[in-house]
Structure 1
Amino acid sequence: MFLGGRMSLAHACMPAILLALAISRATGKNECDLVGVKGSESTRELALLKRLEPLANESFTTTKDIGHEKYNYTFRVCREVDGGGTDAGLVQIDQAGKIIVVGRISETHIVNGTDWILLTYKGGEPYGSHCGTEKRKAMVMITCSRKALRGSFTILAEEREKDEECFYLFELESSVACLPVDSHLSVGSILLITFVSLVAVYIIGGFLYQRLVVGAKGMEQFPHFAFWQDMGNLVADGCDFVCRSKPRNVPNAYRGVGDDQLSEEPEERDDHLLPM
């Protein structure tokens, strides 16, 4: 009787257990594990993983033709690829449907620059006859693209002609690699914007007042038109006085004295001295 009760309880709890496992997988319990000792990860790398969280639920695919063969690649950011196996972050699928793990999220390394983030998955399946049979490694260069969260995903190269340190190189465009735009305005910009706004309010408001209230027409609709006209005349006069060159107080040149230059003396009239 007691055993039957336990079995009934187990069957009753099974859907809840399965749901919990599904939620745990969907919420990403299998996140990236940075290379190194657990608990002593670089704070820089942890901050970069935080920046990549918006891409965690996305899946990216691309295709590459090598000779007569065609390969599909599937990539996820700090999540397992569906059907790829344990910790598979990037897989290769050939035409026959064979899946090869190129990199695992359990061996993650991440660095960044001003407008890019390089995410590296190590610990992939070993090469068969290339690169000294070392394990495969996937390097995904996430470049800045402010247009969209998830952009194009392409494979750039597969380096396997060396004896070691071979890799698959991919590129993913995404806005998560972009630095935030500094939107702070300088004091000069604020003053300029304020001045332009006040001038616009003055002109538009004055124009409406002159037209609708005063009933002005033509140029008279401009606010304080007579004042600004006088101001323009004064500015023009000042510019003419300061900027234009013209002779001022030119001294008389020396000239010789000749008969033709002597002016006739005015006749002195002394009629008032004669006796009446």
Structure 2
Amino acid sequence: MCAPLWCVSIAALLAIAAGENLVDSCQLVGGDRKSVTEQQLLAKLAPLKGKRFEAKTQEGSDIYTYTFVVCGRVNNDSKSTNEGLVQSKDGSKDTSVIGRINDTHIINGSDWIMLYYRSGDKYDTHCNNEARKAMVMISCNKGTVGDGFTVIQEERNKSSECFYLFEMDSSLACPPEESHLSAGSILLIVFAVLVAVYLIGGFLYQRFVVGAKGMEQFPNITLWQELGNLSADGCDFVCRSRPRTSETAYRGVGEDQLGEEPEERDDHLLPM
């Protein structure tokens, strides 16, 4: 199983080779050469593809609803114009396309992804009648795949480069978590699992198959007892300071070992 970053890279390269976009309908622009980084970012957003989000805002007495679809069209019919984010006014049939998915840009940081939809409908009186564009800031939130779509700001007081700014949460914007387990820790875990399987499996076998009772239920009890004896002998051989040679049964005779013997008289053996 490959690491997440490698999987994304491989998927991006395969998509480029096939001449397809990683997330259907989102068309990255930038000339003949498409950015591999942007395609990788789109691949990260693939689980959100086609998801629809809505947010409302109020200006005076007017209430506006914004509908956002990730790399998908808001209106899936013959009248669709690649609209990816649409503004509609409550009580009115008039709608304005904020941005289109056939003019998509995407950048990211350590824990966020910024998705741009450009080529929206032109302003009527603001921003020198330039085309609208939407910026959706997707922030890291490990608790949800996609939620919390809100309107942050509409900047239309400039003469150019006006924009709509939105925000939402998603775990897809979070950096991949690195494993903090070292090779030694992994080996210890594997060893502990193997020991547990050996003990539990051996105990069940001895009890229910062999019919052992008491300490005999312990797997290979004789082997471990012998191993314990050998270990004890080895420890005794290495660690004991006393000489291991046993005292001989013969001991020299010293004056301190001689007890007082009864006096024997041999005068009768002397010649008279």
> Does the alignment reach a TM-score above 0.5?
yes
Conserved 8 A contact 1:141-1:170: yes
Match of residue 80, structure 1, among 65, 73, 77: 73
What corresponds to 1:154 in structure 2?
149
Conserved 8 A contact 1:110-1:119: yes
Superposed counterparts of 1:115-264, under 5 Å: 115-127=111-123, 134-144=130-140, 151-160=146-155, 163=158, 164-174=160-170, 176-177=172-173, 188=184, 191-225=187-221, 228=224, 231=228
Q: How far does residue 94 in structure 1 lie from its aligned partner after superposition?
A: 1.4
The residue type paired with residue 153 of structure 2 is: E
Percent identical residues: 47
Residue 59 (str. 1) matches residue 55 (str. 2): no
Q: Distance in 1 between matches of 2:229 and 2:169?
A: 57
Q: How far does residue 50 in structure 1 lie from its aligned partner after superposition?
A: 4.5
Q: Secondary structure at the match of 2:205?
A: helix
Q: Secondary structure at the match of 2:37?
A: helix
The residue type paired with residue 58 of structure 2 is: D
**Larger CA deviation: 72-81 vs 173-182:** 173-182
Q: Secondary structure at the match of 1:125?
A: coil
Unaligned 5+ segments in structure 2 are: 1-23, 243-255, 268-272
Q: Secondary structure at the match of 1:208?
A: helix
Q: How far does residue 93 in structure 1 lie from its aligned partner after superposition?
A: 0.9
The structure-2 alpha-carbon separation of the partners of 1:132 and 1:187, relative to structure 1 and needing over 3 Å to count, comes to same
1:228-254 deviation line (CA, Å, top 9, x unaligned): 56839967x969x98xxxxx9xxxxxx
The residue type paired with residue 104 of structure 2 is: T
Q: How far does residue 227 in structure 1 lie from its aligned partner after superposition?
A: 5.9
Conserved 8 A contact 1:61-1:153: no
1:196-227 deviation line (CA, Å, top 9, x unaligned): 34322321232123323454334442234466
Q: Distance in 2 between matches of 1:59 and 1:267?
A: 112
Residue 90 (str. 1) matches residue 93 (str. 2): no
Q: How far does residue 44 in structure 1 lie from its aligned partner after superposition?
A: 2.3
Q: Secondary structure at the match of 1:211?
A: helix
Q: Structure 1-normalised TM-score?
A: 0.58
Q: Distance in 2 between matches of 1:202 and 1:94?
A: 69
Conserved 8 A contact 2:56-2:151: no
Superposed counterparts of 1:5-84, under 5 Å: 31-37=25-31, 39-82=32-75
1:25-53 deviation line (CA, Å, top 9, x unaligned): xxxxx93443433x233232234344445
Q: Secondary structure at the match of 1:40?
A: coil
Q: How far does residue 102 in structure 1 lie from its aligned partner after superposition?
A: 1.5
1:97-137 deviation line (CA, Å, top 9, x unaligned): 22122222243211123443311012333445665665432
The residue type paired with residue 112 of structure 1 is: N
The structure-2 alpha-carbon separation of the partners of 1:133 and 1:199, relative to structure 1 and needing over 3 Å to count, comes to same
The structure-2 alpha-carbon separation of the partners of 1:272 and 1:140, relative to structure 1 and needing over 3 Å to count, comes to same
CA-atom RMSD, angstroms?
4.4
**Larger CA deviation: 151-160 vs 220-229:** 220-229
Q: How far does residue 148 in structure 1 lie from its aligned partner after superposition?
A: 6.3
Q: Structure 2-normalised TM-score?
A: 0.59
